[in-house]
Every structure is written in C-alpha cells, then in structure tokens.
Structure 1
Amino acid sequence: MISLSSLLHRGRASAAALALLACAAAAQTPLPGRPITLVVPYPPGGSADILARMVGERLGHQLGQTVVVENKAGAGTAIGAKAVADAAPDGHTLLLGTVSSQAINPAMTKVGYDPLRNFATVSPLASIPFVLVANPAAPMRSVAEVIAQAKAMPGAVGYASAGPGTSNHLAGELLASAAGVKLLHVPYRGSAPALADVLAGHVPLMFDLQSTAVPNIRTGKLKAIAVTGTQRSALLPEVPTVGESGLPGYEVSAWFGIFAPAGLPAPVLDKLGAAFAAILRTPEMEKRLRDLGAEPDTRSREAFDSYVRSEVSRYAGVVRSAGLAP
C-alpha cells in the first residue's frame, strides 16, 4: 500500500519535474510572438536610423514578427543604449549600436552602462569609412603634405568635426598621434555646419563620412586626400587609404551592429544572429547598403565581438592620450 506521504512526495517530485521541463521548453523557444523593439540612440533621419529601418523591416519578415524602430536620442547615444542595457534579456529589445555608443561615448563620459559587460553582441551590420577631405584652395593634397604642414605650423592646421568626442574628431586625434603632430580641432554642433565651413574655406580639412563626402568630391567642391578604411573605397578607387599614405595600421570607420542586453539566452542569440546574417547576405541589402555609402559587414558574430572589444580599448586610449576624459 502506498502511503499518503509517499503520494505527496511523488506529487511534489512530478511538479518539480514539470516545472523544469517548462523552463527548458521556454529557454528553447526563442522570441514569443510579441513585437521586437529596435532602439536607435539617434534622432530620425540619420545613417543609423535609415539602417535600422532597412534591417528592421527585413528582420520582421525573417522572423514573422513585428519589429518596431524606436528613436531614443540624447546624451551622445547614452540614453538609448542605457535603455537597452537595462531591458529584460529576452530578445524583445535590441540596440542598433555604433562606434559612438559602444566605444567612444563610454570613454568620454559616465554613461551608466558598461559597453562590454552590459551587452551581448548579436550581429555586425555595416561600416562607413571617412574621407579626409580638403577645401580645393587648401595647399595640402596628400597625407604627407598634411603632416608636413602640421610640423611646420604646430597646432595651426585646422580640421572641422561634428563636435568634441565624435568619431570624426577622434579620427583627427588618431592621425595626429600616429604622425606625431598637433592639429587644431575646430568643433561644430553637428556635421552639417562643420562641412559648410570646410566648403566655404573657413577650415581647410575634415574627416567626413564617405556617404556625404562623395557627392562633393565628384562635383569638385572638395578634394579627397585619403580614405580611413583598411581598403580603398569602391566609390573612390583612385583615393589611397591613410595606411597606404605613410601611416600603416591607421583605420577609422563609423561601424554599426546589433546588441542585446547581457544574459540573452543562447538559443535566442543564435536565432537572431542567424536572421541578421541571412539579411546581410541578400543582394538587395548589399546594394542598398552600398547606395548609402556603407560596406556590409559579414564577419562572424564572434569576430565582430572581438573587434568591438578592441575598439573599446583603442578609443579609451585615444581619449586618455588626447586629454579628453572627463
């Protein structure tokens, strides 16, 4: 005869087993059917926002779910990035992160999150190189001539940027450090006014995103000195890289990737990573990215994660050596 206590013990054991099975099933069922929010830490209309809407639409088709793009701008990308870092790690909140949100801004100021510990890397997306451009009247036509001018006139050769701590500001700091010269940083409130003053001849140089530089180069309003990627640009094949121009190893780009809150279960991470990889492999997406002046980033998630870690370390060093830390 089975005692009452034995039955109760068996009942508790069965309940515990069922609970474990339910937890395991939940862990193996990525992304229940509610909308995914893709947070963009910038205002609408910029490169990050356009990219988010392109991939968000295709992610929705890929997963059969609604993807909502939400702009959370402010504090130099910190507001949107922190909102994702603090979200539940269930795959329903993602960040379109950039070199600014994941590497530069955390090095420059207290952002309320750790770019490595508080995020899981989901997928690379794309990168846009910068072009070192000059006003046509400027005497410099090569990186060597920029360096020579800076050595002859320390701190007098100016370059415009979108503001302190922006990627085109730090592109100049990296070049100055690599060449052992001092350049004059001329910050503006955004890329548009900075570019306007270079076009007008008030500042001779600027590291401008390829996507906005190319039209002005083709019409002769600017002259291209060098591109900042590791390889020559398909849009400007005749323009050398900074690395080719006497500073080997120099590389700066505005890169974009997808990040999730740390602790995202492996099945969800794998499913999302595979979905983004499939999106980036389509000829249509490749064409649309290149039309934006961007290069598709098809490296593995692991390789991109390693690259992000190296960028966090590199920009922390640049900010320290340039005296830009708070």
Structure 2
Amino acid sequence: MTQFARRAALAGLGTLLAAPAVRAQSWQPTRPLRIVVTYPPGGVNDIVARIVAEPLSRELGQPVVVENRAGAGGNIGTQHVLQSEADGYTILLGTTALFGVNPIVYASSGIDAVRDTTSLGMLGQVANILSVIPGKVEATDLRGFIAEAKRRPMVFGSVGNGSSSHLSAVVFMKMAGIEATHVPYRGSSPLVAAMLAKDVDFGFDTSATSTAHIRSGAFRALAVTTTTRASALPDVPTMAEAGLPGYDLGIWFNLAVAKRTPAPAVAKLREALGKAMAPQTVERLRGAFVDPVSVPAAESDAWIAASAGRWQAIAREANIAAD
C-alpha cells in the first residue's frame, strides 16, 4: 500500500469513528416526556410542575405531561423515575424533602436522590408558613402562640411524615420548647382541608398553598421559615424577626433525571429548561407565590447536595422515622 493510500484509509477510518461521536453529541426528543410529581394534585409541587411543563414542551417540541405518583413521602414517584429507562423522557420534580429528608427517613429504601439523579436546573423556592386557626388559637403573634402552646395541648398537621412541612414544625417546637401531637396528611390539599375544617390547631405549609387562606382570614400567619420575608406575604415576619433567631428553613424545587441518563440528553434538557424559565414563566411562578432561585444549571447538583446535607442533619437530630 502506498503512503497516499495509507493516509486515505486512515482518514476514512477516522471519519467512520467520528460520525457516531458527532451524532451522540446531539439529542432531540421524538415522543412525549413526563414530569413525575411525587405528591397528589393540587399542592405546590403539582402547581410548579404544570407551570414549567408548558414552556418546556414548546422548547423541546414535544408534549410534556405531568404525572402524579404519590406515596412513601415521595419515594414511590422517585423510585419510578429511577427504575424507568434513563433516556431523558422521564423527569423528576425534585423537592427539598426528596433530596434532603428521605435518605434519612427511608434509609432502608436505598433511594438517595442526591446520589442517584442529575439536576437539570432549579425552578424556585417557597417559604413554609406557620399558620394557626382563628377560633382555636387565641394568639396573634409568635411569642403569644408559644406561651399558649405551653399552657394547653395542641395538634399540628403537616403534608406528610418526614416532609419539609413536618421538619419545619419539629425544629420550631424544639427551639420554642413546646410539644404538640403530629397528624401527617398526604399532601398539601388534605392538610389545607383539615386546617379549614379546624381539625388541627396549627400547621406548616408553603406560601403557594397558604396565601389565599391567610388573605381570606381562614388562617392566621405568624411567621415564615426563611430568613427573608415571602414576597407574597410581606407583612408576615420571619421566625427570627418574630422571636426565634437562627431559624432558617426554605423549600426549593428542581427538575432532575436518573444519574445514568446520557450526557447529550442532559445537555439538551438543561438548555431547554433554561430557555423555558423565561421572564413570563418566572412571573407565572411568582403568581403562584414561588420565588426564583439564581443557581446556574451546571452548579445546581453541588448546591442541592449542600442544602440536602443540612436537611439530613436536621432529620437525623429529630430522629424521624417513616410511618
């Protein structure tokens, strides 16, 4: 074989080897995608997913369907995502509870969202709000409520055992030096219904699902769980402002896929989500009382891991076990 022939053969081989690599660098969905929400319809997780699904669908050129798979504190839906084919078509709506609490509360499940998923990007954050029920609770501020809770038995509701709602209450009661009986519900909608029915004295739920009832007077908001006031309720103080300095527990949402999802699919989904989170989408989220989180998609895995570590420490200290 001449030197020219050898070079031509090597060049041809190089082209053949490079072609699959070039094709592998791009990915475009050819069928509908799913966002799996691990809580029932009607709660803030469901609301956030449905707001984001519409613009994400436009960017990907395929329908994006929201699918609710509730149970086991969110682990049923999470497990479904992890067991589905890791091809980019099944997406998890991630939450603080899934990443930061469940690995402790459901340790025997073997599910660890920080370890097992790749983040596509952040969607927003909300504060939990400590709301009491007028007619059942006399107090109108946090200090008065703590004093009242020390005088008589109380019952509080949460969106589920081990949820951020539950842990927000656990940390509050520990810092305030009070005790109350816990009634876990299966999501925000059942909790709100129980609070409206006055089945509990107080509860922690997000600004997304509590604000309308606070504004109507059905709930009395005493404090928010973040270090800054919720934009939806600027007159409600933070826990620190109300008398519990050092209290800081915010709730965030992201989209994620199984860790083994091919890099081209992850890259395309991140790009599409970044475009989907346009100003009009952010405004729709604000309308649902969800504030934006400024974390670049490429840095969101590290940001989530740090936040999850903090929540896991709280869950360990609280010694919370699954129902």
Q: TM-score range by the shorter chain?
A: 0.7 to 0.9
Identity %: 34
Q: Say whether the 8 Å CA contact 1:125–1:298 is kept in structure 2.
A: no
Alignment-derived partner of residue 131 in structure 1: 129
Q: Say whether the 8 Å CA contact 1:277–1:298 is kept in structure 2.
A: no
Structure 1 residues 21-65: Cα deviation after superposition (integer angstroms, max 9, x where no partner): 133113311235343332222344433233323322211211323
Give the AA of the match of 1:130.
N
Alignment-derived partner of residue 182 in structure 1: 178
Q: Say whether the 8 Å CA contact 1:82–1:112 is kept in structure 2.
A: no
Give the AA of the match of 1:123.
G
Pick aligned residue for 2:76 from 67, 76, 79: 79
Q: CA deviation at 1:187?
A: 0.8
Q: Report matched runs for 1:93-108 at 5 Å.
A: 93-108=90-105
TM-score calculated relative to the size of structure 1 = 0.83
Cα distance in 1 between the residues matched to 2:130 and 2:274: 31
Alignment-derived partner of residue 113 in structure 1: 111
Q: Say whether the 8 Å CA contact 1:27–1:265 is kept in structure 2.
A: no
- Further displaced range: 295-304 or 204-213: 295-304
SS of 1:243 mapped into structure 2 = helix
Give the AA of the match of 1:260.
V
Alignment-derived partner of residue 65 in structure 1: 62
Q: Say whether the 8 Å CA contact 1:31–1:92 is kept in structure 2.
A: no
Cα distance in 2 between the residues matched to 1:249 and 1:102: 22
Pick aligned residue for 2:292 from 279, 296, 311: 296
Alignment-derived partner of residue 247 in structure 2: 250
> CA 1:271/1:195 → structure 2, altered by over 3 Å: closer, same or farther?
closer
SS of 1:295 mapped into structure 2 = coil
Pick aligned residue for 1:261 from 224, 249, 258: 258
Give the AA of the match of 2:122.
P
How many residues align? The count is 318
Give the AA of the match of 2:311.
Y
Give the AA of the match of 2:38.
P
> CA 1:200/1:272 → structure 2, altered by over 3 Å: closer, same or farther?
closer
Cα distance in 2 between the residues matched to 1:73 and 1:200: 23
Q: Say whether the 8 Å CA contact 2:39–2:74 is kept in structure 1.
A: yes
Q: Report matched runs for 1:16-31 at 5 Å.
A: 17-18=14-15, 20-31=17-28
SS of 2:168 mapped into structure 1 = helix
Q: CA deviation at 1:266?
A: 4.3
> CA 1:217/1:158 → structure 2, altered by over 3 Å: closer, same or farther?
same
Q: Say whether the 8 Å CA contact 2:70–2:76 is kept in structure 1.
A: yes
- Further displaced range: 255-264 or 102-111: 102-111
Q: Report matched runs for 1:213-224 at 5 Å.
A: 213-224=210-221
Cα distance in 2 between the residues matched to 1:233 and 1:21: 52
TM-score calculated relative to the size of structure 2 = 0.84
Alignment-derived partner of residue 212 in structure 1: 209
Alignment-derived partner of residue 230 in structure 1: 227
Q: Say whether the 8 Å CA contact 1:144–1:246 is kept in structure 2.
A: yes
Q: Report matched runs for 1:136-215 at 5 Å.
A: 136-137=134-135, 138-150=137-149, 152-153=150-151, 156-177=153-174, 179=175, 181-190=177-186, 191-215=188-212
Q: Report matched runs for 1:282-321 at 5 Å.
A: 282=279, 284-321=280-317
Q: Say whether the 8 Å CA contact 2:146–2:178 is kept in structure 1.
A: no
Cα distance in 2 between the residues matched to 1:80 and 1:202: 29
Q: Say whether the 8 Å CA contact 1:127–1:255 is kept in structure 2.
A: yes
Give the AA of the match of 1:106.
P
